[in-house]
Structure 1
Amino acid sequence: MSIEATSGSRGIDWQSDAMKSLRKRRYAADRRLQIYGMVAIAFALGFLALLIGTLTFTGYKAFTQTMVSIEIDLSSQELDREDLMGANWRNLVRDAMRERIGELPRSDERDYFNMFTSSAPFLVRDAVMANPSLLEKKHTYLIPLSDPLDQLSKGEIDRNTPANQRRVNDQQIGWYDQLVSSGVISRPFNWGLFFNSDSRFPELAGLAGAISGSFWLLLVCLVISLPVGIAAAIYLEEFAPKNKFTDLIEININNLAAVPSVVFGLLGLAVFLGWFGLPRSAPLVGGLVLSLMTLPTIIIVTRASLKSVPSSIREAALGVGASKHEAIFHHILPLSMPTIMTGTIIGLAQALGETAPLLLIGMNAFITSPPDGLFEASTALPTQIYIWADSPERGFVARTSAAILVLLGFLVLMNGIAIFLRQRFERRW
């Protein structure tokens, strides 16, 4: 017995062969759509895994640094405690290096000392000045090997390559093997990657200045874009009259969210540096430029969040005698804040990864110390990656990938915080 349904003036036999064929085609189309979606997700995950895998394979070696242990007995040295800066640290360190290798012909000293970072005397000096008690005893100092020897230790330089095609000669390889056999070579975690500033020497280069600069950038961006963005969104959504002028403002805000970042960099170069005369490469200028980029996103997210609050909340507040601004600031805005904060964090995460606007305002300069304030020259993580990627030194290849991993880590952390805030405080109506 067939089941019939009336549609207009004719009946449809839902169990007929034609309807069964139609349902079969629809189910097949649904399955194909699901398969296409799964394939697309698999491709996306595959490319993401390829990216992360490539960066990890290239950059993991930068998270360790080849060191040599050098013992120096400063108690036997005649050093003026009142003038440690004037001491001959170069000879002190070189004498300790000679003791590690034994007798060394004078003609070979240059090649031998080139195995160690050229900043070794300054590292020992800074350690002693930070801890004067080292003057009274023998102490072991960890000195980084120079980049070619670090590459040799990590297998980046093949010792079977002809001598004229590698940066390490046979004699230096022999000295390195001798140091390894004596147990003074180690490869600890490279904390200098996070606590050192930039350097011309890969074995000493770090991200401290870039991390500090990025912090100041995001601080300025947050302080400016969050209150201004929320205030603008509240006015446009709750108070502004609906006319052609406000419609024009809304269209421009939506368009600004899609403007290429390099345009904001040109704007910052012309206005903040050209007209206002603010210092070049300063985090203040970078934060102002990034806040211009983040404002449209925060305004759009805030307006959408305000719209999502049920009208009954507003009507209830007004019904018990609250004024309009009291209803907004005491009821509607607090309920919207979780979504607003989520959008703000995502906007800041996007700003953290921007490179083009920061290059245009000069934040790609070579800076050897972290900035102490908003007006000092600085770099940021994206521009530091750009600087290292442009360096011809082989040691910066791994450090570039490592810096990208650090930047991705910050981005994942910020997006994770946004997801946590959304799930923790979001209200469903």
Structure 2
Amino acid sequence: MTDASLSRPASAQPYDRQRLRKRRAAADFRLRAYGIAAISAAIGMLGILLVTIFVGGYQAFVQTHIRVDFDIAADAVDPANPAAANWRAIVADGLDSLLPGVESPAQVRALGQLLTNNTQFFVRNAVVANPALIGGTLTLEVPAADIIDQLNKGVIRRDTASENRRVSDQQIAWFDQLVADGRVSTPFNWGLFTNPDSRFPEIAGLLNGMVGSLYVVAVCFLVSFPVGIGAAIYLEEFAPRNRWTDLIEVNINNLAAVPSIVFGLLGLAVFIQIFGIPRSAPLAGGLVIALMTLPTLIIVTRNALKAVPPSIREAAYGMGASPQQVIFHHVLPLAFPGILTGTIIGMAAALGETAPLLLIGMNAFITSPPGGVLDAATTLPTQIYIWADSPERGFVARTNAGIIVLLGFLLIMNALAIFLRQRLERRW
């Protein structure tokens, strides 16, 4: 076979080049189209998720209140012991003054269902805090009961048959009368952030979960940050290269991929059953989360140390610095921005953990925020889990609102990580 038989006609070469250019252009177009389609699908799914959460949870950020005047008669409340008064009767009298003419026991019960079941405690606490109210009138903006709150927000529809809704026609008429009298308002629901958990949706808040998450993340940081950085420095800078260190590195990488529920079982067996740490305590939760965060923190720290140019080490050794001085005076400060960024992202991931905390009992019903790391507590993710499992319809909106608050904390922590990385990052 000659070279002439292998060569193409000169007239065919421009055609081949033109066809090749078209094929390449078509392939590039398809690749860009696939990428745009994938990104669009991801953004679309994320948008659907966020819209669903916000649509389902925005109503929890406002709460229906009813202004009620309570007559704190001097003969009904003992100034020496105001907590012992019959506060339910005082609340009933206050409602009766708003809507007179209620006589039958059934109507009295229905009228009392307009306000939250804890109204008596709101009145009692106000009088105990200010005994000068005894003998006068106390005006309070009391949260409406959940069924009235849902009626005001349109969740319970008025055109629904009376036997299929939880609000009676008489209660709707009473509520409309209060609206006409200007006694109904829907202010921002600060109680969502300042109230502890409750069985009643209208007064349930995230305070317990936020305080518990703060303790858990603090314990996790205090344990994982020094241990993780110390282990990473030793493995990267001082450990000999042999089969044992290779085995340790492989296990660290494997531990970073272990399901979180396994760490929960480990915490239950070790920290609670062996060391006797109380169940539901933030100390146990923080230690479990620290075990989960350690492999990731070690990997991030080692990568940050590797990113420091070798010339920094060589220059320090050339000036007569010891290995410890090279690491702690030169390499570690330059790697610290990357370490700090990885740590913040790791703490943000720890904030959203749920499965290991459920195994150690941090899903208990807690009515007051913890006072320390050994008190019973819950966290934001477990609080959301508790509300999602509640049969009360009012907790649906609060579940979504809790997710919004959790996403807000995660966004703040990730934004802080990005800010610190850009502010502290050094380029060589």
TM-score (norm 1): 0.94
The residue identity in structure 2 corresponding to 1:248 is L
Q: Does 1:23 align with 2:21?
A: yes
The residue identity in structure 2 corresponding to 1:326 is Q
The residue identity in structure 1 corresponding to 2:365 is F
8 Å CA contact 2:193–2:205 kept in 1: the answer is yes
Q: What does the per-residue CA deviation read over 1:278-337, in whole Å, with 9 as the maximum and x for residues that have no partner? A: 100000000000000100111000000000000111111111121111111111111111
| Whole-angstrom distance in 1 between the partners of 2:176 and 2:265 | 54
Q: Does 1:382 align with 2:387?
A: no
State the shift of 1:375 in Å. 0.4
Q: How does 1:127-166 map to 2 (within 5 A)?
A: 127-135=126-134, 138-166=137-165
Unmatched runs of 5 consecutive residues or more in structure 1 = 1-9
| Whole-angstrom distance in 2 between the partners of 1:45 and 1:136 | 61
Q: State how many pairs are aligned.
A: 418
State the shift of 1:144 in Å. 1.1
The residue identity in structure 1 corresponding to 2:30 is R
Q: How does 1:154-193 map to 2 (within 5 A)?
A: 154-193=153-192
| Whole-angstrom distance in 1 between the partners of 2:269 and 2:331 | 39
| Whole-angstrom distance in 1 between the partners of 2:131 and 2:221 | 42
Q: Which residue of 1 is the match for residue 218 of structure 2?
A: 219
Q: Which residue of 1 is the match for residue 227 of structure 2?
A: 228
Q: Which residue of 1 is the match for residue 340 of structure 2?
A: 341
Secondary structure of 1:141's aligned partner: strand
Secondary structure of 2:202's aligned partner: coil
The residue identity in structure 2 corresponding to 1:85 is A
Secondary structure of 1:82's aligned partner: coil
Q: How does 1:105-144 map to 2 (within 5 A)?
A: 105-107=103-105, 108-135=107-134, 138-144=137-143
Q: Which residue of 2 is the match for residue 6 of structure 1?
A: none
Q: Which residue of 1 is the match for residue 69 of structure 2?
A: 71
Q: Which residue of 1 is the match for residue 32 of structure 2?
A: 34
The residue identity in structure 2 corresponding to 1:418 is A
Q: Which residue of 1 is the match for residue 3 of structure 2?
A: none
Secondary structure of 2:373's aligned partner: coil
Q: Which stretch of the first structure deviates more once superposed, 166-175 or 123-132?
A: 123-132
Q: Which stretch of the first structure deviates more once superposed, 74-83 or 286-295?
A: 74-83
State the shift of 1:390 in Å. 0.6
State the shift of 1:22 in Å. 2.6
The residue identity in structure 2 corresponding to 1:125 is R
| Whole-angstrom distance in 2 between the partners of 1:109 and 1:173 | 15
Secondary structure of 1:142's aligned partner: strand
Q: Which residue of 2 is the match for residue 102 of structure 1?
A: 100
Secondary structure of 2:203's aligned partner: coil
Question: How has the CA–CA distance of structure 1 residues 316 and 128 changed in structure 2, closer, same or farther, with 3 Å as cutoff?
Answer: farther
Secondary structure of 1:158's aligned partner: coil
State the shift of 1:228 in Å. 0.5
State the shift of 1:72 in Å. 2.7
Secondary structure of 1:72's aligned partner: strand
Secondary structure of 2:67's aligned partner: strand
8 Å CA contact 2:76–2:86 kept in 1: the answer is no
8 Å CA contact 2:71–2:90 kept in 1: the answer is no
The residue identity in structure 1 corresponding to 2:259 is P
| Whole-angstrom distance in 2 between the partners of 1:320 and 1:382 | 52
| Whole-angstrom distance in 2 between the partners of 1:427 and 1:21 | 48
State the shift of 1:168 in Å. 0.9
Q: How does 1:225-264 map to 2 (within 5 A)?
A: 225-264=224-263
Unmatched runs of 5 consecutive residues or more in structure 2 = 1-6
Q: What does the per-residue CA deviation read over 1:139-175, in whole Å, with 9 as the maximum and x for residues that have no partner? A: 4201111111111111111122111111111111111
| Whole-angstrom distance in 1 between the partners of 2:417 and 2:73 | 55
| Whole-angstrom distance in 2 between the partners of 1:188 and 1:298 | 43
Give the % identical residues. 60
Secondary structure of 2:77's aligned partner: coil
Q: Which stretch of the first structure deviates more once superposed, 121-130 or 380-389?
A: 121-130
Q: What does the per-residue CA deviation read over 1:120-146, in whole Å, with 9 as the maximum and x for residues that have no partner? A: 010122233334454475442011111
State the shift of 1:428 in Å. 2.2
Secondary structure of 2:80's aligned partner: helix
Q: What does the per-residue CA deviation read over 1:331-353, in whole Å, with 9 as the maximum and x for residues that have no partner? A: 11111111111101111111111
Secondary structure of 1:265's aligned partner: helix
Secondary structure of 1:81's aligned partner: coil
Q: Which residue of 1 is the match for residue 195 of structure 2?
A: 196
Secondary structure of 2:369's aligned partner: coil
Structure 1 vs Structure 2 CA RMSD = 1.8
Q: How does 1:80-99 map to 2 (within 5 A)?
A: 80-99=78-97
8 Å CA contact 2:76–2:85 kept in 1: the answer is no
The residue identity in structure 2 corresponding to 1:128 is V
| Whole-angstrom distance in 2 between the partners of 1:308 and 1:328 | 13
Q: Which stretch of the first structure deviates more once superposed, 318-327 or 386-395?
A: 318-327
Q: Which residue of 1 is the match for residue 324 of structure 2?
A: 325
The residue identity in structure 2 corresponding to 1:241 is P
Q: How does 1:261-276 map to 2 (within 5 A)?
A: 261-276=260-275
Q: What does the per-residue CA deviation read over 1:107-126, in whole Å, with 9 as the maximum and x for residues that have no partner? A: 31111112211100101222
8 Å CA contact 2:285–2:360 kept in 1: the answer is yes
State the shift of 1:276 in Å. 1.1
Q: What does the per-residue CA deviation read over 1:262-290, in whole Å, with 9 as the maximum and x for residues that have no partner? A: 11111111111111111000000000000
8 Å CA contact 2:83–2:124 kept in 1: the answer is yes
Q: How does 1:42-61 map to 2 (within 5 A)?
A: 42-61=40-59
Q: Which stretch of the first structure deviates more once superposed, 241-250 or 75-84?
A: 75-84
Secondary structure of 2:263's aligned partner: helix
